[in-house]
Amino acid sequence: MFRDGNESRAIALLFSMLTIAVALVLLYQFDSSINQLQFSESVVWNARMGTSYAVGIDGISLSMVLLATLLVLVAILASAEIKERRRGYYALILVLETAMVGVFVAQDWALFYVFWEMTLIPLFFLIDRWGGRKRSMAALNFVLYTMGGSVFMLVSLLVLFDAMPDHSFSMAAMAETARTLPSSTQIFLFLGFLIGFGVKMPIFPLHGWLPLAHVEAPAPISILLSGILLKMGAYGLIRVSSILPAAVSELQYLLMSLALFGLIYGGLLAWRQSDLKSMIAYSSVSHMGIVLFGISTLNTTGMTGAVVQMIAHGLVAGTLFLLIGLLYQRTHTRNINDYRSLTRVAPRFTLFTTIAFVAAVGIPGTAGFIAEFHAIVGGFQSWGWITALLSLGVIISAAYAIRTIGILFTGPSSSRMAQVKDLNFSESIAAGMLVLLILWIGLYPIPTLELIGNSVQSTITAAVGGVR
């Protein structure tokens, strides 16, 4: 049983560390040279409905599991300021972690849907009970948007289930049936999945819930929202793209157009924000546009860029929400114009924030560069000079990132900012882990690329019948 006080946080930390330890063991034992699911388990759940407790991982899902377990640990480390109802708070975070990991390892669409919907319950209460002034509206918007999108996904799953001779929700069996369906049926199914997953990503125009949820959610929950929840939508879309090849081929231009519009639109809105959390929230719309663009290329290079961008954005957004949340705790303001010359009083904060912002831009030596470079090369292979629009989005990101760095760390100092305390030891550990991974992937991307390589190639092979 959880007890109110520090015991709750200690127990949550223990369980999160055990979870990430198991994930690291899986990473150690994972054979990236094998192009198939590993650590697979399947137990019949409901024989009449054709559902099973079927789990397994490949390179893409393992990378997401590692990201999820790491960010949950960081979120718990960043929750020291939570003083009320700690027992419920940490219990909900652990339930949320279970659901998120379940989404990434599920190999049965019914099980996938259960875990997908399961994320709504803890997130609703985490935002509604521990959020800001408009927390109730933010929590309700999040749930309504997500449940509304899930209805479309469920309809697609039921239509696909009905089309199967043996009526099974097995992902492998559904994939075989889905590929044999007429093109028009595949398009119908894919659009349902696109809406369901697009809300969570989010893609334009399904992003309405995101800014309010990020602004009102506690900073640790914003880490999980941006770092992991958005990746669930992209992950689902990648899986669906491999089972509905005719639809993906027919709707390739639509995906590309949505990606580029969201990329530029999100960047422009981020540029206009004075609230730091709002700025990072809108920038997430822009960065997830890069993910969708990589998926739309339907080639190995672009899809690699999409998956690496999922990892990079999870680390970068997690770092930024962590640091902005800690800064808000000290200053009780998120208005960028209130900050000046933090370099002198908070050098560790300055260092970590600067690295995170330049990584968001995609400066060489960071994970963002590896992702954007692959996306641009893959985009050029498929779309030619249309890819220049992606570069425009990157330039817009650079504009607001450089502006933010300049405002935060230059200019005349104020007596208010002079009292800001730098990151303490535990805060430095949490931010340092994320920053080191951002730099490590940027400087030495080979392990990451090898981890996801075979899974990406098999996805593209299934989607287009071969790598182009």
Q: What is the pLDDT of residues 144-200, one digit of tens each?
A: 888 888 889 999 888 888 888 777 888 888 888 888 888 888 999 999 999 989 888
Residue 92 half-sphere exposure toward CB, CA atoms < 13 A? 21
- At residue 307, the pLDDT reads 93
pLDDT digits (tens, 9 = 90+) for 242-291: 888 889 888 989 999 999 888 888 888 888 887 888 888 888 888 888 99
Of residues 302 and 385, more confidence is placed in 302
Which of 319, 171, 327 lies closest to 238, judged by CA? 171
Give the C-alpha separation, 343 to 256, whole Å.
Answer: 41
pLDDT reading at 64 higher than 90: yes
Hey, what are 197's tokens? 């997953």
Give the C-alpha separation, 74 to 419, whole Å.
Answer: 26
Average pLDDT over residues 79-90: 83
Q: How confident is the model at residue 25 (pLDDT cuts 50, 70, 90)?
A: very high
Q: How confident is the model at residue 466 (pLDDT cuts 50, 70, 90)?
A: very low
- At residue 20, the pLDDT reads 93
Phi and psi for 54 in degrees, rounded to 5?
A: -115, 120
Average pLDDT over residues 30-44: 86
- At residue 462, the pLDDT reads 81
pLDDT reading at 10 higher than 90: no
pTM of the prediction? 0.91
With b for 16 or more beta-carbon neighbours within 10 A and e for fewer, the 395-426 pattern comes to ebbbebbeebbebbbeeeeeeebeeeeebeee
- At residue 444, the pLDDT reads 93
- At residue 430, the pLDDT reads 86
pLDDT reading at 436 higher than 60: yes
Average per-residue pLDDT for the chain:
85
Would you say 118 and 232 are in contact if contact means Cβ atoms under 8 Å apart?
A: no
Would you say 252 and 381 are in contact if contact means Cβ atoms under 8 Å apart?
A: no
Phi and psi for 45 in degrees, rounded to 5?
A: -100, -55
Of residues 27 and 418, more confidence is placed in 27
pLDDT digits (tens, 9 = 90+) for 395-424: 888 888 888 888 777 766 666 666 778 888
Give the C-alpha separation, 314 to 227, whole Å.
Answer: 4
Q: How confident is the model at residue 105 (pLDDT cuts 50, 70, 90)?
A: very high
Q: Could you give the maximum distance between any two Cα atoms of the chain, in Å? A: 72
3-state secondary structure of 422: coil
